Chains A and B, each alone.
Chain A
């Protein structure tokens, strides 16, 4: 009952952010896995459900414009809750970057990572309140400015 990875992938299948809590995989295996999953997701239509089963993961994905947000979980995670979590993450990113787009994430990769780290840890949810998530990050930015 844990989140194994979070992936942000664009329509072309390029990874824009990858966060793994499952450490059993080498870099090559991760790349291969990403490729397989993304191909599966891209092949699905809007109407189809947001869950696919791949290897021993269940992947819950959601598409926002050109970006796919994918979360891989094991066994019996609540799929609908994960879907909600993805949305929460997107809203948080959106609030931070004000209208987030692929380029924001690419050029501010570490900020995106910090935000994900405030929300998730060791495959479990830490915080879902957007204000709480962003408070430490924005505070530090103010201090630095």
Chain B
């Protein structure tokens, strides 16, 4: 025999650890399973009670589900009762076992014992499925007319679930529900009102029909309000606050959008609002609901003033619960009546600083809704003051909200800048990148603020150098790189009113940026600092040598990006002719385009990432130096004999590393004019995308066929393929495979010129993915005679180490001069015959 429930509870209580508890429960579950198997009926009742206890502790109890059904089918009331309870607790509507109970429910709903009917209604109301609801809806409808109030109230609530589950049976309930309003039993009234609300919610068309019942509802409310002390429903001197709240809520649904209905209820709403005692929680609950109804319906102005005044009283209350609901309601009505809510602005702002996080959150929502052009300055100041002292969990949300408000309502650009800078200083970690980008766009369009922004950023970075957040550092660094020269004596404009003067020599400025470059823990900060220094080198001539030296030191940086960039920048120092052009100021970014694309960060990437722009200019402006750039970016994978010898040696290591980073299926770095762009963020910009079209079919059918025939595969032959045609220049490839080396392909490339003009300086370079090896023999010449003169040939040997798995792919870079006009072409060879 199993132990008693009490003993089980005691045993569980004595457990000191979770493991012990699991043990006890497992042992008991095993005993229960046995008892169920043996059809032990004497203790079934107790066993199901134990199951519920085990369920509450959070252990599996599915094995007992059938037992509850058996208990429900029993004749005795105590068994039935525990059976239904078990049903509600252990099962839910998703379990198929539940269907088995439909019949028992039907029997019990027809029982002559009101308590059995009550049990069945309760269980059905709590867990019935759609099928059960459909089957039993007629019973529920009948029970709604029962003479017994105990049954009527439960049937009404049961009906709310039925209509929710099976909306098509609603029609009969639509008419029946309002008849409950004539009941004298408060429980029935409460449940009837609930049913009406549920029906309105599911089928808004019923609202019109139900509006005719507004006078009845008002009458009930009035009688509740006027009745003297009614002991059976009294809560702290108020008669049935639950029913009052419910009726007010239904009135809100009915009054919304209907001036007539709102008019009918205005008297009683005014009475509720003026006559309800506000010194107890129950009274406040009613006032709270009444205010929401007044604000939620088409009430007249006077009534609204009354409601807003109640909220004002709530807000001034010392009880936090009351203040919470006041804030909650104000947030709901702010859209209806902003003016009225604005009057409580100061109190609301105080609530943002409350000690209670629930209140703070509500208040913040409300402040957010209250801000407009007129009060943005004061409210933001309050929020910023609070940001400094707020606790960590609150900061991200608050920061975000301040940023959005500043962006939306800033009265002028200088204020926008000042506020965002403060946010950056206080909570830089939570500022989103878009916000900083937007600031960049804003400032580039405001030339009058350039000097000011340089001064502010210098001050901010200088003061918070040690513990500044990344976002502050990179924003400040970017601006200093862009406008840093405006800080210097002589070039500095006069400070704006109220601004403290900055005295910074060019040495100070460069030192500050160098500190970021060498000390920052974040790679991004170092990258920004490097680019900023580079820009300053062009604008502050007296510092050029120092910056050059600094940048050259960084060529050994362990930060890959910094290293690669410093190598390139060092190179730019060698290009005196174009250096100044390359490092021009950013042109003003188009604000309208930016705000249109506000949701799309990609669009503004270029705006925030200074280096990208420089790179772009580099690529476009220095076209004549293409050879050098080609070396810089691609030497390792390029097998051009001409280029290889011309490449400057010191860049090799950086390129090697870059290659390692990009290792994989990347073909090369020569991805069209956009290729230098990875510069800004190579890790996030997989060049592999360039090769998205790589064909994956391979393994020629012929091989398989040959194997099948038991004879050695015949040496495949490949057609001669034209891979490039432009300006009359044609490049054709002829393929051969040396015997016994299927992975190797020998290509004879021949170049002809069909145009009338001679082509000189012709070079062809080829690149392949990492898993292939490429060897280029020297070409037979570098000039192509006009009018299909004798062709120039060049042998290319490719070893595809993944022969059979990956097809051969090639990318070509063809340079030539036609009529003395240099041309550079890149092609990806896509039409190679399969099987290579």
Interface digits, B342-369 against A, CB 8 Å rule (1 contact, 0 not)?
A: 0000000000000110110100000000
Which A-chain residue is minimally distant from B241 (CB atoms)? A84
Number of A residues near B (Cβ < 8 Å) is: 49
Chain A residues whose CB sits within 8 angstroms of the CB of B125 once the complex forms: 121-122
In this complex, the interface size class of chain B, counting residues with CB under 8 Å from chain A, is 35 or more
B60, A27: Cβ atoms under 8 Å?
A: yes
Decide: A15 and B190 in contact? CB cutoff 8 A.
no
Q: B245 at the A/B interface (Cβ < 8 Å)?
A: yes
A78 pairs with B245, CB closer than 8 A = yes
Given contacts A84-B235, A117-B122, A126-B191, contact A136 B150 (CB under 8 A): yes
Question: B85 is contacted by which of A1, A21, A113, A140 (Cβ under 8 Å)?
Answer: A113
Contact of B6 among A107, A110, A132 (CB under 8 A): A107
What string of 1s and 0s marks CB contacts (under 8 Å) between A19-44 and chain B?
10101000110110000000000001
Q: How far is the CA of A136 from the CA of B57 in the complex (A)?
A: 28
B residues in contact with A144, CB < 8 Å: 78
- Residues of chain A within 8 A (CB-CB) of B59 are 27
Assuming the A-B contacts A53-B361, A109-B52, A132-B187, are A30 and B242 also in contact, with contact meaning beta carbons closer than 8 angstroms in the complex? no
Chain A residues closer than 8 Å to B153, beta-carbon distance: 126-127
**Residues in B310-342 with C-beta less than 8 Å from chain A:** 320-325, 328
Bound: A139/B55 CA distance, A: 29
Q: Which of A52, A109, A121 contacts B154 (CB 8 A)?
A: A121
CB neighbours of B9 from chain A (8 A): 106-107
Please tell me if B49 contacts chain A, counting CB pairs below 8 Å: yes
Is there an interface contact between A110 and B150, defined as CB atoms closer than 8 Å? Answer: no
Query: Cβ of A90: which chain B residues have Cβ within 8 Å of it?
Result: none
Q: For residues 48 through 73 of chain A, which have their beta carbon under 8 Å from a beta carbon of chain B? A: 48-53
Let me know if A88 is at the binding interface, CB within 8 A: yes
- Given the interface pairs A106-B9, A126-B157, A127-B153, the reply to whether A48 lies near B289 with Cβ below 8 Å is no
B430 at the binding interface (Cβ < 8 Å): no
A1-B197 contact given A109-B53, A121-B154, A127-B153, CB 8 Å threshold: yes
In whole Å, how far is B108's beta carbon from the nearest beta carbon of chain A? 15
Query: Which residues of the partner chain B approach A107 to less than 8 Å between Cβ atoms?
Result: 5-6, 9
A139 vs chain B, min Cβ distance (A): 8
Among A23, A28, A109: residue with most chain B CB under 10 A: A109
Interface residue B194 (Cβ < 8 Å from any Cβ of A): yes
B284, CB-defined interface residue at 8 Å: yes
* CA of A129 to CA of B189, assembled, Å: 13
Q: Give the chain A neighbours of B197 by CB distance below 8 A.
A: 1
- What are 23 A-B pairs at a CB distance below 8 A? A17-B56, A23-B92, A23-B94, A28-B58, A47-B320, A49-B359, A79-B328, A81-B242, A81-B289, A84-B235, A85-B242, A107-B5, A109-B53, A110-B49, A113-B89, A117-B88, A121-B126, A122-B125, A126-B157, A127-B190, A131-B232, A132-B187, A144-B78
Other A-B pairs, 10, CB within 8 Å; known A49-B323, A139-B115: A27-B55, A53-B358, A79-B328, A80-B281, A83-B285, A106-B13, A121-B154, A125-B246, A126-B190, A129-B186
